[in-house]
Amino acid sequence: MTDLRTDDLSAAAPSTPPLSFGNPEELTPVPAHRSAGARAVLERLEDVGRVVLTTHVNADGDGVGCQVALVDLLEARGIQARIVNPTRFPDQFRFLLPDEDPVLEAGTEAAAQWCMGADLCLVVDTGEVTRIGRVRPLTDQLPYLVVDHHPEGDRPIEGFAFRDESAAAAGELVHALAREADGPWTRSVVEGLWVALLTDTGSFRFCNNTAGPHPIAAELVDRGARPDLLHDRVYGAFPERRFRLLARSLDTLSRSPCGRVAWMTVPPDAWDELDCRAPDLEGFVDIPRSIEGVRVALLFREVPEGVKVSLRANGDARVDRVARKFEGGGHPKASGALVPGRPLEEVRAAMSQAAVEDLGRDPGAGER
């Protein structure tokens, strides 16, 4: 378990007090249905000794923030936990990891051995078979426990699920687990949950940012989270290559004839030339999304497995139905898909047209 300690970040702002992870005097009650779900999860962990923690491909701040928090929460209960993700742990969030790194890269012998000797696979921030990629064959022999805030997809992971679609982030559900377990409120738990909320609500500005995350955010600040320093670590240290890639991608900005669907394409030559990585794309899809009159935004990128597409919606529009037509999934407002075996131009034309057609299903979807 991560020791309670002052974070090195405090040195960047000597005029402010050091981080101190403790218990605030007053706590907002966790909703009853979440407390019940959290208790059910803890009951299923009673006789577990080793856990595989995984999340969806191209993990985001919600997925990895929850994982980092769960490592300490599990180890406090005598459960050994390792993170085994289908894709590389994002460099952007490595500052969350404790000194004793709990990450095992999928495809390594260490990951295979851990999965073979585990008692349970705990999946966070997704509940779909297709979204855990190459971790699936490593954990097929294990029971699954899912903690997720997405709608159940067409191919749900079998096992017990603690699911709440009203949550803005999976971090809200892991927070309920932490409260039900009475901590510990270590640096990893507090900062991991803060980053989960921060990133999945778009810095508390997306439409999923209901009243729910705010009492949790306030509690985490009382427990020692520093919003200014954590925001800078997540969003204030992008490599130069990201901005050069953005400049090249902006040349591809396009819009449907109706004006309600817009998209960008990541140029493959620029991606290779600049030696870019998936986290470099943070926020790219929000650029076509922010154009006046646009209801649906898409970002296309070629990957070895096919064409990866990120989808976002404004107003009354939704994108999960479009994503599912292409074997993807996600939220009504934020979804993704990986389309294998088809050229980029074909996928782009088909998906943008599907988005236009889907907008026609909902009266008012084109209005702000």
Under 8 Å between Cβ of 255 and 294: yes
On average, the pLDDT of the chain sits at 89
Q: Count the Cβ atoms, other than its own, within 10 Å of residue 129.
A: 16
> What structural domains and CATH numbers belong to the chain?
10-235 (3.90.1640.10), 241-359 (3.10.310.30)
Asked if the model's pLDDT at residue 6 lies above 90, the reply is no
Q: DSSP letters of 277-345?
A: -GGGGTTTTHHHHTSTT--EEEEEEEETTEEEEEEEE-TT---HHHHHHTT-EE-SSEEEEEE-SS-HH
Q: Would strands 261-265 and 254-255 be described as parallel, antiparallel, or unpaired?
A: antiparallel
Q: What is the tens place of the pLDDT at every residue in 335-352?
A: 889 999 999 999 999 999
Under 8 Å between Cβ of 167 and 173: yes
103 DSSP 8-state letter: B
Mean pLDDT of 159-188: 96
**What confidence score (pLDDT) does residue 331 get?**
77
Q: Would strands 50-54 and 120-124 be described as parallel, antiparallel, or unpaired?
A: parallel
**What confidence score (pLDDT) does residue 202 get?**
79
Distance CA 105, CA 114 (A): 11
Share of the chain above pLDDT 70, in %: 90
Q: What is the tens place of the pLDDT at every residue in 223-261?
A: 999 999 999 998 887 889 999 999 999 999 999 999 999
